[in-house]
Structure 1
Amino acid sequence: MKPFSRSLLPLLLVAFGAVPARADDKADVLAANTQVEEAFSKLDVKAIEATWAQDGSVSVIHPASKAPILGWEAVQKSYADHPVRYKDFSVAMDNPQVTINGDVAWIVGIEKVNAHRANGDVLDISALATNIFEKRGGKWLLVHHHASRMP
């Protein structure tokens, strides 16, 4: 039996739907994740909205969520009061790990959240987080965010 030819690998990947990501997709996904963090850190609702796909397929699970929040209207509503609830807000993911499969990418890491609530309470937590992006119209958009407080 002949050894497997490396020149056939790209054809097999395409045939089975596992198209390798472009070299700059990882950088683009990381940039999209940074845009999400910056929008939240600025408490800029319009900037937050611009990072999301806005349809019924999106979902979010916040650290304090009791159930998944499904669909754009519900996700949007879950963020709409951030500027009222917080005087300042900072979120950043340590050591984000990116995986890309075609037009879907996910990032996992530990989010550090520091904030001052309008009532004066301080929020300083670490959360295990997953952000899932989908490439739509050439842009990586958030379709799911999940953050769970670390024990």
Structure 2
Amino acid sequence: MNPFSRSLIPMLLVACGAVSARADDKADVLAANTQVEQAFSKLDVKAIEATWAQDGSVSVIHPASKVPIAGWEAVQKSYADHPVRYKDFSVVMDNPQIAVNGNIAWVVGVEKVYAHRANGDVLDISALATNIFEKRSDKWLLVHHHASRMP
């Protein structure tokens, strides 16, 4: 094998995603996913916003969504009234499964959601969930969240 080929192969493997992510990327993605849960559980809109990439590429599908919500303004609006709608809110993903490919990562699992609505109703559901993160400026930011109630 000539020297050019030896240097080209590692570059091709990286470009094709065949080289594994940094060892601590999975831990960083888990930490980002936990930040999302904590922000929601605190009903802290500013903290929720800080976990998201804030551009037109983001999207969310809530358990009660009738259609996908796309673009930062629409996603932001879908969360803005949480502190008004809920007295308390808790979300935790059991046994999150994390995969990383370059600057994209996804976390799948079952979210346990428990909340008291402002009207006194109790929300106690499990939802199949997917969180997709993109690494931007060395920070893992949410670009898509999808949660569907379990049958």
TM-score computed with the length of structure 2 as normaliser = 0.92
The answer to whether the 8 A contact 2:98-2:106 is kept is yes
- 1:9-48 aligned at under 5 Å gives the runs 10=10, 12-48=12-48
**Residues 1:15 and 1:140: Cα distance change in structure 2 (over 3 Å):** closer
Q: Name the SS for the 2:29 alignment partner.
A: helix
Distance in 1 (CA, whole Å) between partners of 2:51 and 2:15 is 32
Distance in 2 (CA, whole Å) between partners of 1:15 and 1:75 is 31
Cα deviation code 1:100-133 (max 9, x no counterpart):
0100000000000000000000000000000000
Residue in 2 that maps onto 1:4: none
Moved over 4 A (4+): 8-12
Distance in 2 (CA, whole Å) between partners of 1:16 and 1:125 is 39
Equivalenced residues, count: 144
Q: Name the SS for the 1:13 alignment partner.
A: helix
Structure 2 residue 136 is the aligned partner of structure 1 residue 128: no
Cα deviation code 1:58-77 (max 9, x no counterpart):
00000000000000000000
Distance in 2 (CA, whole Å) between partners of 1:147 and 1:90 is 14
Q: Name the SS for the 1:20 alignment partner.
A: coil
Residue in 1 that maps onto 2:4: none
Distance in 1 (CA, whole Å) between partners of 2:15 and 2:137 is 23
Tell which deviates more after alignment, 13-22 or 136-145: 13-22
**Residues 1:15 and 1:25: Cα distance change in structure 2 (over 3 Å):** closer
The answer to whether the 8 A contact 1:13-1:20 is kept is no
Residue in 2 that maps onto 1:147: 147
Residue in 2 that maps onto 1:115: 115
User: Which consecutive residues of structure 1, in runs of 5 or more, have no partner in the other structure?
Assistant: 1-7
Report the residue type matching 1:118 in the other structure.
A
Structure 2 residue 83 is the aligned partner of structure 1 residue 83: yes
Report the residue type matching 1:75 in the other structure.
V
Report the residue type matching 1:20 in the other structure.
S
> Offset at 1:13?
1.6
Q: Name the SS for the 1:148 alignment partner.
A: strand
Q: Name the SS for the 2:26 alignment partner.
A: helix
Residue in 2 that maps onto 1:3: none
TM-score computed with the length of structure 1 as normaliser = 0.92
RMSD (CA atoms): 1.4
User: Which consecutive residues of structure 2, in runs of 5 or more, have no partner in the other structure?
Assistant: 1-7
